[in-house]
Amino acid sequence: MKKASVGVVILLFATVAVATTIWITEPKPTANSNEIKPDSTPYLNLLDKENLSEIPLPKENLSSPERFKFPPIPNPASDMSEIKPDSTPYLNILDPEHPLHGKIPLPVRKHLPPPPDGIPNPGQGDYGTSINRNLDGIKGVYAGQEIIPDLSLPEAPPNRTLYAPTLESPNYAPLESVTAYWRYEGMTSTGRAWGVWDHTKGKFVLMKPIDSQFMSNYVRTFPEGQLYFIEVVYINNAWRVLLYNFNTDQWEEQYSSAGSSNRKDGWDIWESFFEGTCPSIPNIGSDYLQVYVNGVWKSVTSTYGSLLDYQNCPYQENMISNYHHWSVGP
């Protein structure tokens, strides 16, 4: 029995020794860079924008004040149970019960055709991404839109309005997500709000001031800036505007419509009406632009988007990544 026990011990020791030897590797010599090869699996990188809608990403600590690294995953647009009702309807200044209802002028929407020579007047310009109107399968858009909570426009006159960013799905979507800044005669400060414009009614149907409550629920700081995330998407026979609530980690339906507009085009743009002036503005951008096409979220590349540039003010325009990330600044 003693001899058998010794044999077992020797065998186990030999096995451990072999296993240890297998896991030992020599460090790569630093003198010969030819032996270092490029990454053979870059497609596995979860931070690649092409992967954002394909693989669930780690969730951030929602209560952390630190910068976020990952945007929220687009709602799959196939399960209404994933969509929650608006948790902050009391912020809507278009509600007659709101204390500011009827007490401040609302931003004015203008849709002016370009002059005959095709060049817009100074301050009557757009910049950003035009979304392909020729693909009937596109039934939604998603983006991270930058908010500037302290943006200030010069005292009027003239009246000035800035919609940046503003997001609209192609294929006759009636609803548009609008980040609005405006200052008109009689206003002592700049109005700042996020709203929903209904093209079938020709008016804003929802408007929430960009205040501390809006920022706390819907805005977080990312490397690109302070962003809110929005979808305008067709689900269950209606167009819906979904806003992501970071406090609850849920998509909330802000407004819906079963109607349709007469516009087949879509956009994610910076849009200004400065009445022939070019006031100083901070940098404003949009990122993570995707389209919901044939049941799948896709990053907007040249297949789905193109440059839209009718801006005539001397601002710095940047199409940072074609065509899902752009900015306009001083």
> Residue ranges per domain, the chain?
46-60+67-329
pLDDT higher than threshold 60 for residue 16: no
Amino acid in the structure at residue 158: P
pLDDT band with cut points at 50, 70 and 90 for residue 41: confident
The percentage of residues in the chain with a pLDDT greater than 70, rounded to a whole number, is 77
Beta pairing class for 250-257 and 83-85: parallel
What gap in Å lies between CA 287 and CA 146, rounded to an integer?
8
What gap in Å lies between CA 195 and CA 200, rounded to an integer?
15
Unique residue bearing structure tokens 């647009």: 77
The torsion angles phi and psi of 187, rounded to 5 degrees, stand at -90, 130
Neighbours of 160 (CB within 10 A): 21
The mean-pLDDT minimum among 106-115, 121-130, 308-317 falls in: 106-115
Closest among 88, 46, 48, 55 to 74, alpha carbons compared: 55
pLDDT higher than threshold 70 for residue 42: no
Q: Which of 40-44, 130-134, 296-300 has the highest mean pLDDT?
A: 296-300
The SS3 of residue 36 is coil
What gap in Å lies between CA 103 and CA 112, rounded to an integer?
27
User: Which tens digit of pLDDT belongs to each residue from 256-293?
Assistant: 999 999 989 999 999 999 999 999 999 999 999 999 99
pLDDT higher than threshold 60 for residue 223: yes
Q: Would the pTM of this model clear 0.85, i.e. be above it? A: no
Alpha-carbon distances of 245 from 20, 214, 230, 320, 322, rounded to whole Å: 50, 10, 10, 27, 28
